[in-house]
Amino acid sequence: MKVTIDDVAEKAGVSKTTVSRILNGNFGHNKPETREKVLQVIKELDYQPNALAKGLKQMKTNTIGIILSNLQNSFWISVLEGVEDVCQRNGYSLMICNSNENAQLEEDHIKGLRHRQVDGIIVNATLKNRQLYETFIEENYPLVSINREIYELPIDMVLMNNIKGAKQGVEHLIDLGKMSILLMVYPVEGVSPRIDRIEGYKQALAERGIAFNEENIQIVTEGKGNAKARVMELLSGENKYDAIFSTNNQMTLEILEGIKQLGLQVPADIALLGYDETVWSMHVDPPLTTVKQPAYEMGELAAKRLIQLIESKRKLKPKTVLLEPELIIRKSCGIKEK
Amino acid sequence: MKVTIDDVAEKAGVSKTTVSRILNGNFGHNKPETREKVLQVIKELDYQPNALAKGLKQMKTNTIGIILSNLQNSFWISVLEGVEDVCQRNGYSLMICNSNENAQLEEDHIKGLRHRQVDGIIVNATLKNRQLYETFIEENYPLVSINREIYELPIDMVLMNNIKGAKQGVEHLIDLGKMSILLMVYPVEGVSPRIDRIEGYKQALAERGIAFNEENIQIVTEGKGNAKARVMELLSGENKYDAIFSTNNQMTLEILEGIKQLGLQVPADIALLGYDETVWSMHVDPPLTTVKQPAYEMGELAAKRLIQLIESKRKLKPKTVLLEPELIIRKSCGIKEK
DNA sequence: GTGAAAGCGCTAACAC
DNA sequence: GTGTTAGCGCTTTCAC
């Protein structure tokens, strides 16, 4: 039933060595007629080489793994598409795992992937398995970290410029006359994008000479509904805000809901700035001003780099790529006051 | 560098058979002390069995493949999550491919996956590779088709009840007094969800005694901007519509944009009903009434069934599961006229 | 230009 | 209860 290289060899009246050579680009410079014959038999038998056997022998599977933390966020889907496209163009398969931001799961997946002999891994690291990442480096195992900086480890990374992204956004808000900007962010815990966005926020304030108020930064626990509850609480409290900067697109939707439920208008009563561009950004009410990140490109670059690492004969020096965000201005932050 | 089962065996002073047995749940009922010893050596050496070798020997990889046609649609992401979760719970890895609705790519991916020896495949089929699907059936290779019916082939499928979904939606529109309902759909070409939604639309009309007008069904070519252009054209034309039923969530966003650009109000000037529930459905302006499909469940069921097929000793009779949609009523269709 | 044979790392008869 | 041995399907020296 299953047709193997032996079947092909026998039927073509050659040795399996010859078949193998022809399959893999003809090192031995076979005679054209042998070649023809073998190729024809392969077609006749619809022979598909067994990648497991090949992989076992060559210690290479042409498969890479990716570990993501959240599939529901469309940002990651774009990244995934970028990775997938590059894989496809280069003859690699993609194994996908979801860590859900869970360190144990991340470790299991990493081990699982290596045990399945993938040639390399792209990871949006939880950052909670430092020792594991170090092992990779020691073993010179191809690994690229996306979106999050793994601090002080010589590792390949492709990151977004989050300081600049947040800074641009906040500057825009300030230019529009906003003075009391509420920054909402999911827990930081050493995760560079969140840390950097806070930093960008602070820098913008500092450069424009606006006093920084610690209470204007609110860390909200991840989980459905939390951001909505928090924003409603905050907007009903003592502090007055004229703008909210949401650093996550799911959170943005919740904030919007909370604001509306309070009977407030965006941007008349309060401005709203979102992070990450999505299909719905321009369609919500009001159309959202957002900091757009080149997600697809990040996926592409990470995959390209990983394949480079895999296929390079010698050890490559770790490299960090920083991608630039772009501010997309719509209506949710209002227009310049006179 | 790479540690193999032989290293473990040698260091533990046993044969690799023993190690293998202990690794795989102890058939030979090893002595506790041997067991202890081996387990300890495994830990010491941080030994990871090579899944390739194991797979080659056992003809089983504990990996399944999934071929999707469009990652950008959040419907598919939910499906993917369902599949991923089930895989994880059952110790399977997931290989993901994107066919982009392209028959050639689909064929390449299917062949690629089999050549990589995946134990089974879940596919949202283009339906353009009938012969290939038949081959699977002949070979009794585990395959489950999701979302789309592969007509007249004894194959496992998990599908949505699209007739009912569309019917429910249209009935709702009719109940609200809408008489001239424009149905917009991407090209049909034998794709069951689209065919069935048209059928559901017709059934609802028929049952409520509303004359069916062929021109009220508009097939719009897939591609960014097409739906928007078309809807603007149609709404500016001679035919008057009081409702639009959009059968795809990306399309819905475009239609909404088109309507707004024309200066029309939803639902005052025209009602809009969408297919598929998304994170943004409740947040666009106005909040969208939609036909919600249990996407995550579809993924789960498909994966569970596939694993069943893989692990069953004997051939299972193909089974079709039909999942029921649910109408989520919000504001985009208006309220009942008196 | 082609073939014989060894071996990648593992499991599974079959012995003992 | 444990070991010996023969492969799984392929690539790759090394002969010829």
Nucleotides of D under 7 A from a protein CB: 1-5, 7-13
Per this entry, what is the length of chain A?
338
pLDDT in tens, B57-103: 999 999 999 999 999 899 999 999 999 999 999 999 999 999 999 99
Q: Which residues of B touch A88 (CB under 8 A)?
A: 97-98
Nucleotides of C under 7 A from a protein CB: 1-5, 7-13
Q: What is the mean pLDDT of chain B?
A: 94
pLDDT of residue A337: 64
Helix (H, G, I), strand (E, B) or coil at A323: strand
- Residues B116, A51: C-beta atoms closer than 8 Å: yes
pLDDT of residue A149: 97
pLDDT of residue B249: 93
**Residues 6+ away with beta carbon under 8 Å from B111:** A48
Per this entry, what is the length of chain B?
338
Residue B21 predicted with pLDDT over 60: yes
pLDDT in tens, A25-56: 766 677 888 889 999 999 999 999 999 999 99
Mean pLDDT for the stretch of residues A178-200: 95
Which residue in B51, B85, B88 is closest to A117 by CB distance? B51
pLDDT in tens, A83-120: 999 999 999 999 999 999 999 999 999 999 999 999 99
Q: Is there a contact between A326 and A107 (Cβ–Cβ < 8 Å)? A: no
Contact of B268 with chain A, judged by CB distance below 8 Å, is answered with no
Residue A263 CA to residue B87 CA, distance in Å, equals: 44
- The alpha-carbon gap from A190 to the nearest alpha carbon of chain B, in Å, equals 27
Which residue in B96, B113, B284 is closest to A283 by CB distance? B284
- The alpha-carbon gap from A208 to the nearest alpha carbon of chain B, in Å, equals 33
Residue B26 predicted with pLDDT over 80: no
pLDDT of residue A31: 85
- The alpha-carbon gap from B285 to the nearest alpha carbon of chain A, in Å, equals 5
CA atoms lying within 13 Å on the CB side of residue B254: 22
User: Before B187, cis peptide (omega within 30)?
Assistant: no
pLDDT of residue A338: 57
- Residues A285, B282: C-beta atoms closer than 8 Å: no
b vs e for A31-45, b when ≥16 Cβ sit within 10 Å of the residue's Cβ? Answer: eeebeebbeebbeee
Specify the pTM: 0.93
pLDDT of residue B309: 96
Distances in Å between the alpha carbon of A7 and those of A16, A37, B57, B59?
Answer: 9, 14, 19, 18
Mark which residues 191-230 of B lie under 8 Å from A by CB.
Answer: none
Give A98's strand partners: A68
Mean pLDDT for the stretch of residues B27-33: 76
B250-254 long-range contacts, CB within 8 A, separation 24+? B250/A279, B250/B72, B250/B73, B251/B184, B251/B186, B251/B220, B251/B227, B252/B288, B253/A279, B253/A280, B253/A283, B253/B284, B254/B224, B254/B225, B254/B226, B254/B227, B254/B228
Mean pLDDT for the stretch of residues A309-324: 95
Residue B27 predicted with pLDDT over 70: no
pLDDT of residue B31: 84
- Give the closest residue to A67 by CA, choosing from A86, A94, A90, A34: A94
pLDDT of residue A251: 95
